[in-house]
């Protein structure tokens, strides 16, 4: 089990980052919000989970242990694989996800693309006793910085397109979020846009 990686960021793509560790480059899948905090040439430490399949070995990375634990817990539910678990954490922060599971808040859980009402009910039923609504985790270092509106819009639209959303829908969702006040960060806009797009599906 590779529980964490630490090293220099070699490149950042729409769905993964490549981190050099001991002369080797590890491709680590992560949420768009986490990826938005990483910069090429900087040092990073990510908590990771290694998913082993017959034809692949895939690393998933998280800014903190809390998110990694929830990632693993989500996959104990039938029908929830690593991709959907990662998508869930892309839309819902760990504390919000935990609270929704404990409270059985179907409305919040169905904001995740790919999770319908039955799936949300199953998640809550199976996981509510395994999580706690107490405690919250902070954003990853650097994620609270405010990006210029034009650059921020482009980053988030590109990230949404990389997740499979049509460009026009992504642009409309981002523009709607940006019109609702100031002080947005890439992470906050991305989460709000993902939630809005999830409700449309």
Residue 167 belongs to a domain with what CATH number? 1.10.8.10
Task: Please count the structural domains in the chain.
Answer: 3
44 belongs to a structural domain: yes
Reported confidence tier of residue 200, pLDDT bands at 50, 70, 90:
low
User: Is 192 in contact with 177 (CB distance < 8 Å)?
Assistant: yes
What pLDDT shows up at residue 21?
A: 93
Task: Give this prediction's pTM.
Answer: 0.65
CB 190 within 8 A of CB 92: no
What are the residues facing 62 on neighbouring strands? Answer: 47
Domain that holds residue 41: 4-62
Q: Give Rg (Cα) of the chain.
A: 16
Beta bridge partners of residue 6, listed in sequence order: 45
Does 159 share its domain with 187?
A: yes
4-52 confidence digits (pLDDT tens) = 999 999 999 888 999 999 999 999 999 988 998 899 999 999 999 999 8
pLDDT in tens, 116-172: 999 999 999 999 888 864 344 334 333 334 445 566 777 778 777 767 778 888 888
Q: Is residue 138 part of a domain?
A: no
In a domain, 132, yes or no: no
- How many Å apart are CA 128 and CA 97, to the nearest integer? 10
The verdict on 8 and 52 lying in the same domain is yes
Residue 185: pLDDT above 80?
no
pLDDT at 139: 40
Q: Where does a domain end: 21, 47, 62?
A: 62
Residue 183 confidence (pLDDT): 63
- Is 90 part of a structural domain of the chain? yes
Instruction: Kindly indicate the confidence band of residue 103, based on its pLDDT and cuts at 50, 70 and 90.
Output: confident
- For residue 137, tell me if it sits in a domain: no
Tell me, what CATH number does 122's domain have?
1.10.150.20
Q: Is 28 inside any structural domain?
A: yes
d(CA 103, CA 160): 29
Residues 192, 156 within the same domain: yes
Residue 111 CA to chain centroid, in angstroms?
Answer: 13
Structural domain ending residue among the three candidates 24, 46, 62: 62
């Amino acid at each position: 089990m590779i529980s964490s990686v630490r090293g220099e960021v070699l490149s950042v793509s729409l769905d993964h980052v490549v981190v050099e560790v001991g002369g080797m480059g590890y491709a680590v899948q992560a949420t768009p919000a986490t990826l938005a905090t990483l910069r090429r040439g900087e040092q990073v430490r990510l908590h990771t989970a290694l998913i082993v399949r017959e034809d692949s070995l895939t690393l998933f990375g998280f800014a903190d242990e809390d998110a990694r634990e929830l990632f693993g817990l989500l996959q104990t539910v039938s029908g929830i694989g690593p991709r959907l678990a990662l998508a869930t954490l892309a839309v819902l922060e760990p504390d919000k996800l935990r609270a929704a599971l404990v409270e059985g808040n179907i409305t919040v859980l169905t904001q995740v693309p790919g999770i319908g009402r039955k799936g949300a009910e199953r998640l809550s039923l199976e996981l509510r006793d395994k999580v706690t609504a107490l405690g919250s985790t902070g954003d990853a270092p650097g994620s609270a910085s405010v990006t210029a509106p034009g650059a921020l819009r482009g980053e988030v639209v590109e990230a949404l397109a990389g997740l499979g959303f049509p460009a026009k829908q992504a642009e409309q969702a981002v523009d709607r979020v940006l019109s609702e006040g100031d002080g947005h960060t890439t992470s906050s806009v991305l989460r709000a846009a993902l939630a809005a797009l999830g409700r449309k599906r």
